[in-house]
Structure 1
Amino acid sequence: MKISELPAPEVARRIAAGHAVLVPMGSTETHGPAFPMGDYLLAEAIALRIAEAAGDVLVLPTLAFGGADFFRGVPGGVALSPATLTALVTDVLVALHEGGAKRILLLNGHGGNIPSIEEAQRRLRHGQGVVAPVLHLWKSAGGWQKELGGSPETLGHGGDPIGSVALHLRPDLCAPTAMKPRQPLPPFLGLPVSGFGTIRAAGVDFGVPIEGEEVAAGGVAAADSSGCRAEHGARIVARLVEAATAMLSAMKGAA
Structure 2
Amino acid sequence: MRLADHTTTTAAEALESVDVAVVPVGSTEQHGPALPLGTDFITADAFAEAVTDRDDVAVLPTIPVGVSEHHRQFHGTLWVSPETFEEYVTETIEAVASHGVRKAVFVNGHGGNVNALERAARRLRGDGTAFAPTWNWWESVPELSDDLFDSDGGHAGPAETSLLLELAASLVREDALEEAGDGVPESWGKSVHGASVGFDTIDFTPTGVVGDPTEGSRVAGEELFQAASEELNALVDWLVDKPFDSLRSTDHV
Instruction: Classify the TM-score, shorter chain.
Output: 0.7 to 0.9
Secondary structure of the residue that 2:52 maps to in structure 1? Answer: helix
Q: Residue 240 in 1 paired to residue 228 in 2? A: yes
**Shift in Å, 1:127:** 1.1
* Alignment match, 2:101: 101
Give me the whole-angstrom Cα distance separating, in 2, the residues matched to 1:199 and 1:249: 40
Asked if structure 1 preserves the Cα contact closer than 8 Å seen for 2:24 and 2:107, the reply is yes
AA paired with 1:132?
A
Equivalent pair of 1:154/1:228 in contact (CA under 8 Å): no
- TM-score when scaled to structure 1? 0.86
SS in 2 for 1:23: strand
Please provide the CA RMSD for this pair: 2.1
Q: Helix, strand or coil: the match of 1:105? A: strand
Q: Distance in 2 between matches of 1:73 and 1:200?
A: 22
Once the two structures are overlaid, the 10-residue window that deviates more, 206-215 or 233-242, is 206-215
> Corresponding residue for 1:171?
169
Between the aligned partners of 2:138 and 2:37, the Cα distance in structure 1 is 15
Report SS of the residue matched to 2:92. Answer: helix
Partner of 1:196: 188
Distance 1:251 1:41 in 2: 24
Match of 2:13 in 1: 13
The number of residues matched between the two structures is 241
CA separation of 1:13/1:73 partners in 2, compared to 1, >3 Å: closer, same or farther? farther
Following the alignment from structure 1 to structure 2, what is the Cα–Cα distance between the partners of residues 184 and 250?
43
SS at structure 1 position matched to 2:228:
helix
Q: Verify the 8 A CA contact 2:102 2:129 in the aligned structure 1.
A: no
Q: Gapped runs of 5+ residues in structure 2?
A: 244-253
What amino acid maps onto 1:43 in structure 2?
A
Counterpart residue identity of residue 206, structure 1: A
Instruction: Tell me by how many angstroms 1:85 deviates.
Output: 0.6
For residue 63 of structure 2, what is the amino acid of its counterpart?
L
Q: What does the per-residue CA deviation read over 1:153-185, in whole Å, with 9 as the maximum and x for residues that have no partner?
A: 363312132111110011111111111163336
Residues 182-221 of structure 1: pairs in structure 2 closer than 5 A = 182-184=181-183, 195-201=187-193, 205-221=194-210
Q: Which amino acid aligns with 1:97?
A: A
Change in CA separation of 1:50 and 1:18 when aligned onto 2, cut-off 3 Å: closer
Deviation of 1:69 after TM superposition, in Å, equals 4.5
- Equivalent position of 1:138 in the other structure: 138
Structure 1 residues 63, 230: closer, same or farther in 2, change over 3 A?
same
Query: What SS class does the counterpart of residue 180 from structure 1 fall into?
Result: helix
Instruction: Decide whether aligned partners of structure 1 residues 207 and 35 sit closer, same or farther in structure 2, where only a CA change above 3 A counts.
Output: same
**Is the 2:153–2:187 contact (alpha carbons within 8 Å) kept by the matching residues of 1?**
no
1:43 alignment partner in structure 2: 44
| Cα distance between partner residues in 1 of 2:86 and 2:163 | 27
Q: Could you tell me how far 1:41 is from its partner in structure 2?
A: 1.4
Is the contact made by 1:154 and 1:226 (CA closer than 8 Å) also made in structure 2? no
Question: How does the TM-score come out when normalised to structure 2?
Answer: 0.87
Give the Cα–Cα distance (whole angstroms) in 1 for the partners of residues 167 and 186 of structure 2: 30
In structure 2, relative to structure 1, the CA distance for the partners of 1:8 and 1:43 (3 Å cut) is same
- 1:112 positional shift: 0.8
CA offset at residue 240 of structure 1?
A: 1.4
Equivalence map 1:102-141=2 (5 Å): 102-141=102-141
Deviations 1:83-118 (A, max 9, x none): 111111111111111121133111011111011101
Distance 1:35 1:209 in 2: 22
Match of 1:226 among 195, 199, 214: 214
